[in-house]
Amino acid sequence: MKLPKLKRYQKDFEYSYSFGVNPTLDLIKYRGEQVLKVLLKKEVSENDREDVNRIEEWCKENGVPVSFNERAIERIAYKENTYVIGIFKKYTEDLDPEGDHVVLVEPRNMGNVGTIIRTMKGFKFNDLALIGPSVDVFDPKVVRSTMGALFNIRFKYFNTIEEYMGEYGDHNMYTFMLKGKKSIKDVKFNTPFALVHGNESRGLDEKYLNIGESVVIPHSDDIDSLNLAMATGITIWESRR
Amino acid sequence: MKLPKLKRYQKDFEYSYSFGVNPTLDLIKYRGEQVLKVLLKKEVSENDREDVNRIEEWCKENGVPVSFNERAIERIAYKENTYVIGIFKKYTEDLDPEGDHVVLVEPRNMGNVGTIIRTMKGFKFNDLALIGPSVDVFDPKVVRSTMGALFNIRFKYFNTIEEYMGEYGDHNMYTFMLKGKKSIKDVKFNTPFALVHGNESRGLDEKYLNIGESVVIPHSDDIDSLNLAMATGITIWESRR
């Protein structure tokens, strides 16, 4: 793939960026075959010297071009102290038909999706389904908030929940809703399962009451709802408890 | 208190702002005595008409000035579609000596603190202690991410954990650390208790191993740590389970 003049990320790019040393290390570790190029600044802090050397060596061994290009980095990066950028071809992957899944319906907030991905990895969930119009997981704001975990999960987009269920019909579906029929404390999660959460502002609509088992996370009336990442984190935690 | 010409919020102001209809309703409901003034735009969406009327009536009954001032709103607000702003005198309050507390040591990220406050209210925690140099909870970015819950909790700043323990010595302290001696799944939380969490980047330092009972939230090696709001949310959830 030939790269054009590099600019700040836009959703329609065929490639995206990892910013900083640790996310770029995770990129080459888990998605090495996607890496197109690495950009470096000449000055590197003493702390990071060793890691940056590892990145350079990896590139040499794998025939990936490295370029010292301060101006390109300054043009692309959001933070001033960025001195490593990995450029990688975007990808998607089938989910594990036997693994437990997290399913997000029309998520909109990049920080939420990033935090969910980081939490998934913390509790051995490796598969994320995104239903309908969703956050672009390759947006650098998502990549950053996953702290590198993005490169270590599988994810796939689906137009509708029916499309997802067509492919992964064996999964036991648990749909999380304020109107859910059962408290999460009483649910026995039968593997392989899918934890399904709705949009930040609307949650899941009524039709999800008839899909799988609908579940509520009981909380006080003092709040309208939990934050999406928090609700998903609690279900991830409980399902592994 | 006499208000100067209104500008975007700064930390050294004696007052802060609630943006939007719902946060302002929570402000007058829970902290009515702190309200200095309400700003309104003339145009209001049909959906919000009734709530805005309630705010106006409340102001009339309580002798709080209301001003139609589009230009001030545009100067202060971050979002274009803001048409209600509550201006309130900042406050602090002693924590409930018999209630369970959340204790955050040097938290830095406004979104995290806001999400934690919202989650606290969801699970009946009403008291937050902030130790050392911390996020300003009155920053509008925090206020917004609490979704109004800020006005419905007590919080107090302390210079050190020792200062906090001097005032609330009866609380059983649970300190959450990667090196914690006991898994959260094996902890019995004895009330009144304090859930103590460290900073986003460093966590709690070694001295906290000798304060109360140190606890770990077990997670996989695939991530360095959980996001602070997520970790705190899981401890809030588990302690109420």
Q: Using a CB-CB distance cutoff of 8 angstroms, which residues of chain A are in contact with residue B237?
A: 234, 237
Whether A227 and B185 lie within 8 Å, measured CB to CB? no
CA-nearest residue of chain B to A115? B227
Query: Which of A6, A61, A72 is CA-nearest to residue A28?
Result: A61
Q: Closest Cα of chain A to B227: distance in Å?
A: 7
Q: What is the pLDDT of residue B241?
A: 86
Whether B234 and A234 lie within 8 Å, measured CB to CB? yes
Whether B118 and A241 lie within 8 Å, measured CB to CB? no
Residues A156/A30, Cβ–Cβ less than 8 Å: no
Q: pLDDT truncated to tens, each residue of chain A (241 aa)?
A: 788 889 999 999 999 999 999 999 999 999 999 999 999 998 888 889 999 999 999 999 999 999 999 999 999 998 888 899 999 999 999 999 999 999 999 999 999 999 999 999 999 999 999 999 999 999 998 998 898 899 999 999 999 999 999 999 999 999 999 999 999 999 999 999 999 999 999 999 999 999 999 999 999 999 999 999 999 999 999 999 8
Q: What is the pLDDT of residue B1?
A: 77
Whether A237 and B234 lie within 8 Å, measured CB to CB? yes
B144: which 2 tokens?
């917004």
3-state secondary structure of B191: coil
Whether B227 and A115 lie within 8 Å, measured CB to CB? yes
Identity of the residue in A115, A222, A237 whose CB atom sits nearest the CB atom of B149 = A222
Start-to-end C-alpha separation, chain B: 45
CA-nearest residue of chain A to B115? A227
Residue contacts between A and B (CB atoms, under 8 Å)? 72
> What is the 8-class DSSP label of residue B199?
B
Whether B115 and A227 lie within 8 Å, measured CB to CB? yes
What is the set of domains in chain B, with CATH numbers?
15-89 (3.30.1330.30), 101-239 (3.40.1280.10)
Q: Using a CB-CB distance cutoff of 8 angstroms, which residues of chain A are in contact with residue B150?
A: none
User: Of all helices (H) and strands (E), which one includes residue B101?
Assistant: strand B101-105
Q: What angle do helix axes B228-239 and A228-239 make, rounded to 10 degrees? A: 60
Mutation test of the interface with chain B: which of A109, A127, A222, A241, choosing the one with the most B Cβ atoms within 10 A?
A222
Whether B229 and A118 lie within 8 Å, measured CB to CB? no
Q: pLDDT truncated to tens, each residue of chain B (241 aa)?
A: 788 889 999 999 999 999 999 999 999 999 999 999 999 998 888 889 999 999 999 999 999 999 999 999 999 998 888 899 999 999 999 999 999 999 999 999 999 999 999 999 999 999 999 999 999 999 998 998 898 899 999 999 999 999 999 999 999 999 999 999 999 999 999 999 999 999 999 999 999 999 999 999 999 999 999 999 999 999 999 999 8
Distance CA B22, CA B214 (A): 39
ipTM above 0.90, yes or no: yes
Distance CA A83, CA A21 (A): 8
B127: which 2 tokens?
């008291």
Model pTM?
0.93
Distance CA A74, CA A162 (A): 44
> What is the 8-class DSSP label of residue A199?
B
Backbone angles phi, psi at A128, to 5 degrees: -125, 125
CA-nearest residue of chain B to A229? B230
Q: What is the pLDDT of residue A148?
A: 86
